[in-house]
Amino acid sequence: MMTTQTSKARDELKGTIKGNVLVPDQPDYEQARQIWNAMIDRRPAVIVQCAEADDVPAAIRFARKNRLELSIRGGGHNIAGDALCDNGVTIDFSRMKNVRVDAGKRRAYVEPGATLANLDEATQAHGLATPIGINSTTGIAGLTLGGGFGWLTRKYGMTVDNLVSVNMITAEGKKIRVSENDNADLFWAIRGGGGNFGVVTQFEFQLFPVGPEIVAGLIVFPFNQAKQVLTRYRQFVASAPEDLNVWVVLRKAPPLPFLPENIHGKEVVVLPIFYSGAIAEAEKLIAPLRAFGEAHGEHIGAQPYVQWQKAFDPLLTPGARNYWKSHNFTELADGALNTVIEFAGKLPSPHCEIFIGLIAGAPNRIAPNAMAYGHRDAKFVLNVHGRWDEAKDDQKCIAWAREFFKASAPYASAGAYVNFMTAEEGDRVAAAYGSNYERLVEIKRRYDPENVFHCNQNIKP
């Protein structure tokens, strides 16, 4: 709780930073404490909306001096809601979204409040991109620090694999550069270790020529053909080239104009397809996918990369209630496919879905101990998206996600993707990092012995 003393300190903080300091009685406060997952309802005592990197040390000092918890908000998308803390200080980067591109060097310099859309738009202006996620409103900061994968991952690796450096503020409020050559131990740790080690104020990424037009779209199959589609999918992706990526989504059909109306709201199997190679080559690579079954419909074509990067935004809008569970897989065993089909056959809400993301390729060529993100044997990431509108459905939807998670666990590989973990999975953090965990703890002890940065999937010093 804020005391008179801390209120006075807060007023002083206002005078020392360029950004904005919000407290509960201010009109913008309610808006500022909204994040993507509507299940999270936390009320920070102070929200520091930074205007520049130099605002961050003052916010850290303020939190430490007043013994208040400290949370960091990048894009506010994390499912666990750790961007916010009750009665503490939230460092909010929503006003720092700038992206600068050096096309000659193929580098992007990104502020920590930038969304994937901000980065894609800036890099695509030069026909460049780096692998990031599939929903354009996600924050670059949290996505990168946890790993990051999307359509380009098969070919160019995880987002962390393309991180060149960061500027960071430590728990002591010190500004440092972190890269292979500067504070190399921290560079190892932040590539997967999340927000445990400091506050990143700038990310530097390497970029690759992509598009600006790629070929992408969806093929939608009837749910009663799911076994056949999934079995053929497994076989197909085992030898598909790395500039082709195909995922699987099992859900109730949204009202897409290319689907017959009587299919809307019915269970379907969707193959989202992405090809970043030569457009003339796309058709012959995609053609075999059509033979997986008798499709309800398809919508595939050449389009701007930035457009495809926003294709799933309408299904992933903020404001819904969400609960996720996730496993990595090195292969899709028959038992895993049967479990997916069983649980997709009893979706507890029209917005729930199970997706299988394909990441086989470049990420598998990096050693598991090269950085904190170590799931280098993972070829598929399976995520169960529990998503619904009303609190009265919480129990039913959470139970479905948990039961699915348990039933599919015997087929999963070790480790978990921290960016898809919900709040109560704290005891899964060590397991998520596997053999890299001990080194993370050791680095945490050196850089943040008091665990100032603990509003995250916490690595305890």
Ligand X SMILES: Cc1cc2nc3c(=O)[nH]c(=O)nc-3n(C[C@H](O)[C@H](O)[C@H](O)COP(=O)(O)OP(=O)(O)OC[C@H]3O[C@@H](n4cnc5c(N)ncnc54)[C@H](O)[C@@H]3O)c2cc1C
Q: Pick between residue 95 and residue 232 the one whose CB is nearest to ligand X.
A: 95
Q: State both tokens at 410.
A: 């015997």
Q: State both tokens at 323.
A: 């609960």
**Residue 254: left (phi > 0), alpha (psi -120 to 50), or beta?**
beta
* Chain residues in the site for ligand X (CB under 6 A): 36, 72-79, 82-83, 93, 112, 133-135, 138-139, 141-143, 145-150, 194-195, 199-200, 316, 419, 455-456
Q: Pick between residue 80 and residue 295 the one whose CB is nearest to ligand X.
A: 80
Q: At 215, which amino acid appears?
A: V
Label the pairing between strands 89-92 and 46-49: parallel
Using CB positions, name the residue nearest to ligand X. Answer: 142
Q: Pick between residue 48 and residue 143 the one whose CB is nearest to ligand X.
A: 143
Label the pairing between strands 353-358 and 248-252: antiparallel
Residue 322 to residue 399: CA distance in whole angstroms: 12
Which residue, among 312, 323, 438, 330, has the nearest Cα to 375 in the 3D structure?
Answer: 330
For the packed helices 334-344 and 394-408, what is the interaxial angle rounded to 10 degrees?
Answer: 170
Q: Pick between residue 114 and residue 230 the one whose CB is nearest to ligand X.
A: 114
Q: Pick between residue 142 and residue 293 the one whose CB is nearest to ligand X.
A: 142
Q: How far is the CB of 313 from ligand X (least distance, A)?
A: 9
Q: Pick between residue 147 and residue 211 the one whose CB is nearest to ligand X.
A: 147
Q: State both tokens at 265.
A: 């709201």
**Alpha helical stretches, state H, 265-360:** 279-290, 305-308, 334-344
The single-letter DSSP state of residue 281 is: H
Q: Pick between residue 194 and residue 461 the one whose CB is nearest to ligand X.
A: 194
Q: Pick between residue 80 and residue 268 the one whose CB is nearest to ligand X.
A: 80
Count CA atoms within 13 Å of residue 345 on its CB side: 11
First vs last C-alpha separation in the chain? 26
Q: Pick between residue 269 and residue 378 the one whose CB is nearest to ligand X.
A: 378
Radius of gyration of the chain (CA): 22
Q: Pick between residue 245 and residue 456 the one whose CB is nearest to ligand X.
A: 456
The single-letter DSSP state of residue 304 is: E
Entry field: residues in the chain? 461
Element (H, E) at 303: strand 297-304
Q: Is the peptide bond before 209 cis (omega within 30 degrees of 0)?
A: no
Q: How far is the CB of 458 from ligand X (least distance, A)?
A: 9
Q: How far is the CB of 348 from ligand X (least distance, A)?
A: 19
Residue 53 to residue 316: CA distance in whole angstroms: 30
Q: State both tokens at 434.
A: 């596997």
Instruction: Write the DSSP assignment of 20-50 as a string of letters.
Output: EEE-TTSTTHHHHT--S-TT-----SEEEE-
Q: How far is the CB of 32 from ligand X (least distance, A)?
A: 12
Q: How far is the CB of 248 from ligand X (least distance, A)?
A: 14
